[in-house]
């Protein structure tokens, strides 16, 4: 215990100065025993260790992602967080949630401290109740019950309310923390206590001893005896900050205790560049010292002594002292249940204070640049957009050596960390780059009349004509894993469709992505739209990117099924185009050709088993069991080293069966295949609808009627007859490239190329037309005549 005190550089508390701090262990079963106190007092002959007012130890965390390493954390609960809307009583639900989060972090081995408001509000509730009860008794005795409604509650003095509420507030914390087998201790301080060097040292010693015993200190200003607020003379240097509210108390405590993180919870989402609620107010994700001149502060909250300006001053003071700070909303019902744990996990919540400015733009700034650049891109002539894509295709071949050198670095760094299928996806080659260039030139050729193409023309009335035309969606966010060849493909499609683009690639392809993005921007520069395509290189988590609903119009994930599911779950108000699984089926009909079946099965399963369009379940007509055709399929799969999983029906036909499948809804992504038996084509369709993912499904048969029945009744994005499932691909469809394969039922389905990245808008041209002219007694009538649409250029 002695080494613990010396390690932090603080003196244990002195018996002669204990009365200045009211410290009580909350849980009766975890009170500090007298023996412990006697043991501590025996150290009183140890010389005091000098404690600097500001610490010169390590710097604060530079990035949110580092917050997960925070060991010692102070959580400051503002009055608006702790109290109810009527300012009379506590918000018990929020408090319970906060205690639960603090307990979770404490039980993870962190050292948690609370700076809490609420004593005045809780005391006000108790005193009002007592006053009402007292008045009602007196008036009932003297005036009768009919005058109870006219009772007036006097204005209650804040110090009296604090004195009445302090014990009840702590009793409440006691009951809540006890549910998690955690002890808490109360410490009351005033500004005068920090001015006395001896008392400051005692406070430090007390707090360190409590933390050593795994007790959560709950610190508050002693509002029952607090002096009037001092003039705003603090912050003249890092060594001085007046404790005049709980914001400054939390900052002072965080620096004194060398805390890693200070979380300030208020009733707003964080710090805005102008007062929250104003039309142009934007939440500031990261705030840097010196930025306060660009911020306009509004009025303070409905309760409490400090407003946002006080919080920012306290936060900057703590940041200078080496403590990271996050200001966030602790009252919102949708986030308050996990706001503290989200912050510690590094999620983008509230405003993070950092001393380290990033070298490049923030992701929010990149989103704005992509929006602006995309709009400029959409105004270019089709020939200009095509010229950009052709130039990018030329760069892929001209700069081949530089691209392959960067890719070699990625492969060397990934060796031993990535599985073989992922390494194959990561690898680039001369042939891959040549294929990419060919695909880009196809996109350029098909983009000539993509944006601004007239789909419909209608004459509403005389001299009133309506057009429906194609326009870009806006800003696309494409997230891709281990596939650097995805970057130029998606960039070309975005350029052709006039969309702004944010790209988030996997870190395993960082070198490849960097050079491919530089080449893309070089191509865009020939027409001055370099910023339309942005590569996100910051430490933004995918989940945080999915929350930028004001900047991103569509998210397109390219990667594993787990990645797609995570993005679909994380996306907040932004549509996601893609598929979570590629469970592709092939049904071998009783009239299938022997020569075709093994060839189609081999290509669908073995050509690239990690692809989303690879075969996962083979459905066999029951009449084919124990036939030469069935034996040929099994022999081929053995030669190709494909592991077979037997479906329940298939297993019932066998004496010694392969391992029975755990689930018929499985995407293996490897040389594994499920085989199941069906009775007929309808049974196959029912199986596909029950266990498939609406991606790609195939029938192999020589009966045209059976094939057409299958094609018309299977409800998937791609349905094939006598072909490999691997044809489900934008390049193979002649789309030039694809941004992904969609299994959704709106906007775009199947391989999504250029057409899937466009939406429409309506253009109405008139001459002084008003709706009243078309009323019952008006002078005009609706014509609604269809007009010819300009022919599309198919060259």
Q: Which domains does the chain have, with CATH numbers?
A: 64-135+156-225+244-353 (3.40.1160.10), 363-570 (3.40.605.10), 585-738 (3.40.309.10)
Q: Is 170 left (phi over 0), alpha (psi -120 to 50) or beta?
A: alpha
HSE-CB of 464 using CA atoms within 13 angstroms = 15
Q: What are the backbone dihedrals phi and psi of residue 455, each rounded to the nearest 5 degrees, phi first?
A: -95, -30
Residue that is written with structure tokens 């691909």 in the block = 729
Of the candidates 247, 86, 220, 95, which has an alpha carbon nearest to the alpha carbon of residue 162?
A: 220
| Other Cβ atoms within 10 Å of 67 Cβ, number | 21
pLDDT for 758 equals 93
- What is the token pair recorded at 219? 């610190």
- What is the token pair recorded at 477? 């966010």
- State which H helix or E strand residue 534 sits in: strand 533-535
Of the candidates 497, 70, 134, which has an alpha carbon nearest to the alpha carbon of residue 263?
A: 70
Cα–Cα distance for residue pair 739/751, rounded to 1 Å: 8
Cα–Cα distance for residue pair 159/228, rounded to 1 Å: 11
Beginning with the edge strand found earlier in the chain, give each strand of the sheet holding 643-646 in spatial order. Answer: 643-646, 672-678, 615-621, 584-588, 696-700, 718-721
pLDDT for 591 equals 96
Mean pLDDT, consecutive 10-residue stretches, the chain (795 aa), reads: 33 36 39 34 30 49 91 91 73 90 95 87 73 64 52 66 80 91 90 80 91 93 64 42 71 91 91 78 84 61 58 89 93 83 92 84 89 95 96 96 96 88 87 93 87 94 94 94 91 96 93 97 96 86 82 88 82 83 94 94 93 95 94 95 94 81 91 96 97 96 97 96 94 82 84 90 93 90 93 62
How long, in residues, is the chain? 795
Cα–Cα distance for residue pair 453/790, rounded to 1 Å: 8
The DSSP secondary-structure symbol of 651 reads H
| Other Cβ atoms within 10 Å of 497 Cβ, number | 29
The alpha carbon of residue 24 and the mean position of all alpha carbons in its chain are separated, in whole angstroms, by 41
pLDDT for 293 equals 60
- What is the token pair recorded at 26? 């909350």
Cα–Cα distance for residue pair 675/251, rounded to 1 Å: 64
Cα–Cα distance for residue pair 247/317, rounded to 1 Å: 11
Q: Is 575 left (phi over 0), alpha (psi -120 to 50) or beta?
A: beta
pLDDT for 726 equals 95
Cα–Cα distance for residue pair 528/379, rounded to 1 Å: 12
Cα–Cα distance for residue pair 384/176, rounded to 1 Å: 66
The alpha carbon of residue 415 and the mean position of all alpha carbons in its chain are separated, in whole angstroms, by 29
pLDDT for 750 equals 87
Cβ atoms of 736 and 730 within 8 Å: the answer is: yes
Cα–Cα distance for residue pair 696/751, rounded to 1 Å: 10
Residue that is written with structure tokens 């009966």 in the block = 703
pLDDT for 137 equals 58
Which residues lie closer than 8 Å to 26 by C-beta, 6 or more apart? 170, 171, 173, 174, 177, 178, 183, 184, 185, 186, 218
Cα–Cα distance for residue pair 671/637, rounded to 1 Å: 9
pLDDT for 299 equals 55
Residue that is written with structure tokens 């104003």 in the block = 278
What SS3 state is found at 83? strand
Cβ atoms of 442 and 736 within 8 Å: the answer is: yes
Give 168: exposed, middle or buried? Use CB within 10 Å, 0-12, 13-18, 19+. Answer: middle
| Other Cβ atoms within 10 Å of 636 Cβ, number | 17
The CA-CA-CA angle for residues 361, 347, 173, to 5°, reads 140
Give 216: exposed, middle or buried? Use CB within 10 Å, 0-12, 13-18, 19+. Answer: buried
Cβ atoms of 421 and 671 within 8 Å: the answer is: no
pTM: 0.73
């Amino acid at each position: 215990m002695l080494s613990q005190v010396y390690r932090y550089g603080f003196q244990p508390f002195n018996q002669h100065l204990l009365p200045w701090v009211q410290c009580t262990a909350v849980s009766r079963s975890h009170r500090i025993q007298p023996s412990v106190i006697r043991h501590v007092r025996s150290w009183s002959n140890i010389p005091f260790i000098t404690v600097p007012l500001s610490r010169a130890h390590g710097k604060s965390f530079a990035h949110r992602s580092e917050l997960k390493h925070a060991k010692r954390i102070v959580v400051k609960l503002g009055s608006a967080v702790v109290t109810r809307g009527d300012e009379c009583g506590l918000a018990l639900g929020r408090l319970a949630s906060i205690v639960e989060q603090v307990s979770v972090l404490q039980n993870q081995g962190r050292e948690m401290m609370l700076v809490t408001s609420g004593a005045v509000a809780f005391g006000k509730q108790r005193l009002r109740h007592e006053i009402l009860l007292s008045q009602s008794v007196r008036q009932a005795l003297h005036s009768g019950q009919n005058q109870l409604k006219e009772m007036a509650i006097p204005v209650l003095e804040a110090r009296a309310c604090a004195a009445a509420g302090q014990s009840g507030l702590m009793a409440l914390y006691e009951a809540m923390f006890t549910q998690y087998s955690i002890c808490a201790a109360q410490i009351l301080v005033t500004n005068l206590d920090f001015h006395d060097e001896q008392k400051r040292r005692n406070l430090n010693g007390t707090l360190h001893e409590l933390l050593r015993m795994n007790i959560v200190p709950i610190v508050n200003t002693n509002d029952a005896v607090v002096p009037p607020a001092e003039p705003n003379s603090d912050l003249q240097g890092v060594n001085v900050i007046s404790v005049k509210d709980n914001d400054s108390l939390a900052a002072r405590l965080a620096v004194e205790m060398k805390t890693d993180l200070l979380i300030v919870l208020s009733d707003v989402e964080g710090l805005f560049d102008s007062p929250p609620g104003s039309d142009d107010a934007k939440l500031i994700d990261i705030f840097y010292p010196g930025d306060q001149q660009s911020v306009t502060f509004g009025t303070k909250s409905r309760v409490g002594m400090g407003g946002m300006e006080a919080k920012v001053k306290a936060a900057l003071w703590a940041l200078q002292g080496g403590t990271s700070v996050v200001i966030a909303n602790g009252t919102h019902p949708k986030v308050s249940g996990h706001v503290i744990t989200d912050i510690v996990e590094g999620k983008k919540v509230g405003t993070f204070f950092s001393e380290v400015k990033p070298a490049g733009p923030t992701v929010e700034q990149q989103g704005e640049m992509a929006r602006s650049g995309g709009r400029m891109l959409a105004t270019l002539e089709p020939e200009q957009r095509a010229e950009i894509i052709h130039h990018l295709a030329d760069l892929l071949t001209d700069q081949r050596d530089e691209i392959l050198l960067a890719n070699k670095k990625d492969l060397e760094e990934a060796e031993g960390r990535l599985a073989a299928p992922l390494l194959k996806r990561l690898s680039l080659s001369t042939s891959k780059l040549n294929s990419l260039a060919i695909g880009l030139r196809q996109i350029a050729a098909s983009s000539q009349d993509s944006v601004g193409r007239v789909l419909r023309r209608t004459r509403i009335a005389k001299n009133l004509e309506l057009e429906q035309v194609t326009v870009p969606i806006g800003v696309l966010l494409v997230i891709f894993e281990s596939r650097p060849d995805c970057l130029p493909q998606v960039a070309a499609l975005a350029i052709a469709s006039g969309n702004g683009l944010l790209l988030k690639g996997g870190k395993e392809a960082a070198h490849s992505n960097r050079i491919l993005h530089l080449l893309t921007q070089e191509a865009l520069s020939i027409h001055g739209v370099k910023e339309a395509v942005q590569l996100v290189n910051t430490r933004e988590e995918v989940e945080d990117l999915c929350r930028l609903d004001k900047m991103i119009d569509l998210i397109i994930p390219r990667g594993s099924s787990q990645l797609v599911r995570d993005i679909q779950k994380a996306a907040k108000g932004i549509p996601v185009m893609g598929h979570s699984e590629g469970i592709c089926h092939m049904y071998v009909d009783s009239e299938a050709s022997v020569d075709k079946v093994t060839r189609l099965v081999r290509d669908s399963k073995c050509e690239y088993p990690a692809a989303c369009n690879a075969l996962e379940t083979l459905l066999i007509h029951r009449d084919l069991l124990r036939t030469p055709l069935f034996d040929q399929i099994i022999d081929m799969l053995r030669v190709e080293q494909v592991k077979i999983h037997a479906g329940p029906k298939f297993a019932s036909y066998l004496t010694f069966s392969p391992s029975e499948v755990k689930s018929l809804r499985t995407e293996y992504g490897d040389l594994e295949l499920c085989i199941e038996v069906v009775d007929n084509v309808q049974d196959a369709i029912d199986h596909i609808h029950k266990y498939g993912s609406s991606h790609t499904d195939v029938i192999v048969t020589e009966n045209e009627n059976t094939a057409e029945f299958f094609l018309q009744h299977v409800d998937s994005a791609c349905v094939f007859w006598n072909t490999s499932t691997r044809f489900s691909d934008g390049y193979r469809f002649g789309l030039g490239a694809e941004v992904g394969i969609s299994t959704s039922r709106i906007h775009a389905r199947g391989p999504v190329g250029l057409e899937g990245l466009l939406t429409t808008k309506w253009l109405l041209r008139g001459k002084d037309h008003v709706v009243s002219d078309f009323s019952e007694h008006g002078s005009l009538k609706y014509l609604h005549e269809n007009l010819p649409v300009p022919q599309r250029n198919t060259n």
